[in-house]
């Protein structure tokens, strides 16, 4: 399949056309350079001060406004599965990244060019490596390398939300249980110790676990605790000498990451585990004046974010943030990713109403 690379991005184009051009620049995590180059080139505009950190592009207004907001979105996608180039069918754009999250990137780019005199100073951040391990995350790297470029009073992360506001986000922990047994011939099982059987009390605790619904600042988050991967065994005639089970805990923003880990220790008792990944939750922050103004300008009713997003990074920096972007989040990463053009236009209209007044 031939890859399509536009020579430039026309930010005056309609949102559907702009999204198609962005999608056609393949930018799987680690391969964002081409798209980052095009974004940087397109944003070299008189009213914007442009910075580059690796494949992260930052464009800022400097109008002396009393408030500064960040609008952020990532350039990378998960791997392509015969879903490029993009195609338009009626009022829907299909292709890798249309939902997660090049639809949001298209809206950002159009508004970054259009809003030359917004009511708030704006920092537009287009970053790399969001879809891979946290250590590579371009927003995290930017915050470490140039914290001054991330400073703001409020942030909007354009993750897909169906063009509705989603406040905060759940935290996530991946706990790994490593069970050790003793290998033996399965005909003489009493001479060994079956590590897979030792998973039983852990699995039993998971089956008995009742996920909680927790209200935080008026939004109800539903937690989840589930086994996600399991491995073990050497051969069909060998008693397994080892077994590994990974468990994913999605926790509400009423607790810190340390409190979430403590909860896991309560659930599993004296069965030890190691932490493979810990990402904190983020409180909605919808009680802040800028957040209230955003909700009023965009309209609709805020919902909780089921999942982890980089609003948690902003929260750690003391910046309240919400998720707001085009595309149905349930289609993210699917082979049949597709975004209604109406979602693009609704998000552009909502942000324009907030930023222009």
Residue 182 has pLDDT above 90, yes or no: yes
Question: What pLDDT does 289 receive?
Answer: 87
**When comparing pLDDT for 218 and 143, which is higher?**
143
The CA-atom distances, in angstroms, between 276 and each of 60, 174, 203, 253, 263 are: 36, 5, 19, 20, 16
Instruction: Spell out the domain ranges in the chain.
Output: 15-168+282-355, 177-279
Percentage with pLDDT > 90 across the chain: 89
Question: Looking at domain 177-279, does it have CATH number 3.30.70.360?
Answer: yes
Look up 76 and say whether it is catalytic.
Answer: yes
pLDDT digits (tens, 9 = 90+) for 185-202: 999 999 999 999 999 999
Residue 342 has pLDDT above 50, yes or no: yes
Residue 81 has pLDDT above 80, yes or no: yes
Of the candidates 268, 347, 313, the one whose C-alpha atom is nearest the C-alpha of residue 143 is: 313
The CA-atom distances, in angstroms, between 317 and each of 148, 172, 216, 227 are: 11, 18, 20, 31
Q: Per the residue annotation, which of 55, 128, 130, 164 is the catalytic one?
A: 130
Instruction: Identify whether the C-beta of residue 128 lies closer than 8 Å to the C-beta of residue 76.
Output: yes
Question: What pLDDT does 6 receive?
Answer: 53
Of the listed ranges 109-123, 212-226, 289-303, the least confidently predicted one is 289-303
pLDDT digits (tens, 9 = 90+) for 43-78: 999 999 999 999 999 999 999 999 999 999 999 999
Residue 1 has pLDDT above 80, yes or no: no
Checking DSSP bridges between strand 68-74 and strand 213-216, what pairing results, if any?
unpaired
> Which class in CATH covers the domain with range 15-168+282-355?
alpha beta
Residue 356 has pLDDT above 70, yes or no: yes
Checking DSSP bridges between strand 242-251 and strand 303-304, what pairing results, if any?
unpaired
Taking residues 259-266, report their average pLDDT: 97
pLDDT-derived band at 2 (thresholds 50, 70, 90) equals very low
Residue 212 exposed, middle or buried by CB count within 10 Å (0-12, 13-18, 19+): middle
Q: Residues 273, 222, 162, 334: is their CA dihedral positive or negative?
A: positive
Question: What pLDDT does 35 receive?
Answer: 97
Instruction: Identify whether the C-beta of residue 314 lies closer than 8 Å to the C-beta of residue 282.
Output: yes
Of the listed ranges 42-46, 227-231, 297-301, the least confidently predicted one is 297-301
Residue 240 has pLDDT above 80, yes or no: yes
pTM (predicted TM-score)? 0.86
Mean residue pLDDT across the chain: 94
Of the candidates 116, 101, 32, the one whose C-alpha atom is nearest the C-alpha of residue 323 is: 101
pLDDT-derived band at 285 (thresholds 50, 70, 90) equals confident
The CA-atom distances, in angstroms, between 244 and each of 177, 194, 357 are: 6, 12, 55
Residue 247 has pLDDT above 70, yes or no: yes
Percentage with pLDDT > 70 across the chain: 98
Look up 130 and say whether it is catalytic.
Answer: yes
Question: What pLDDT does 306 receive?
Answer: 87
Q: Per the residue annotation, which of 76, 131, 166, 310 is the catalytic one?
A: 76
pLDDT-derived band at 300 (thresholds 50, 70, 90) equals confident
The CA-atom distances, in angstroms, between 155 and each of 1, 80, 81, 164 are: 38, 29, 32, 15
Residue 17 has pLDDT above 90, yes or no: yes
Instruction: Identify whether the C-beta of residue 114 lies closer than 8 Å to the C-beta of residue 13.
Output: no
């Amino acid at each position: 399949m031939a890859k399509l690379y536009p020579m430039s991005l026309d930010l005056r184009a309609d949102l559907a056309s702009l999204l198609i051009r962005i999608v056609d620049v393949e930018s799987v995590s680690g391969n964002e350079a081409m798209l980052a180059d095009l974004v940087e080139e397109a944003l070299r505009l008189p009213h914007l001060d442009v910075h580059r950190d690796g494949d992260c592009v930052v464009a800022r207004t400097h109008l002396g406004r009393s408030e500064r907001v960040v609008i952020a979105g990532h350039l990378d996608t998960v791997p392509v599965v015969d879903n490029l180039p993009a195609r338009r069918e009626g009022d829907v754009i299909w292709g890798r990244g249309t939902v997660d999250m090049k639809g949001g990137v298209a809206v950002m780019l159009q508004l970054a060019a259009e809003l030359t005199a917004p009511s708030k100073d704006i920092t537009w951040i287009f970053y790399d490596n969001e879809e891979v391990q946290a250590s590579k995350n371009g927003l995290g790297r930017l915050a470490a390398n140039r914290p001054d470029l991330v400073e703001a009073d409020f942030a909007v992360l354009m993750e897909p939300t169906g063009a509705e506001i989603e406040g905060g986000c759940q935290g996530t922990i991946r706990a790994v249980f490593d069970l050790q047994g003793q290998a033996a011939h399965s005909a003489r099982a009493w001479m060994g110790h079956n590590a897979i059987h030792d998973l039983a009390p852990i699995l039993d605790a998971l089956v008995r676990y009742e996920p909680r619904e927790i209200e935080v600042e008026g939004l109800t988050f539903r937690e989840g605790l589930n086994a996600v991967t399991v491995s073990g065994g050497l051969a069909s005639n060998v008693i397994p000498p080892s077994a590994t089970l990974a468990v994913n805990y999605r926790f509400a923003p009423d607790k810190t990451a340390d409190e979430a880990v403590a909860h896991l220790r309560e659930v599993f008792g004296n069965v030890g585990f190691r932490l493979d990944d810990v990402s904190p939750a983020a409180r909605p922050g919808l009680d802040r004046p800028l957040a209230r103004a955003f909700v009023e300008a965009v309209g609709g009713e805020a919902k909780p974010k089921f999942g982890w997003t980089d609003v948690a990074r902003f929260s750690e920096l003391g910046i309240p943030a919400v998720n707001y972007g085009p595309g149905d989040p349930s289609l993210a990463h699917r082979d049949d990713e597709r975004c209604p053009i109406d979602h693009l236009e609704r998000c552009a209209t909502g942000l324009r109403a907030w930023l222009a007044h």
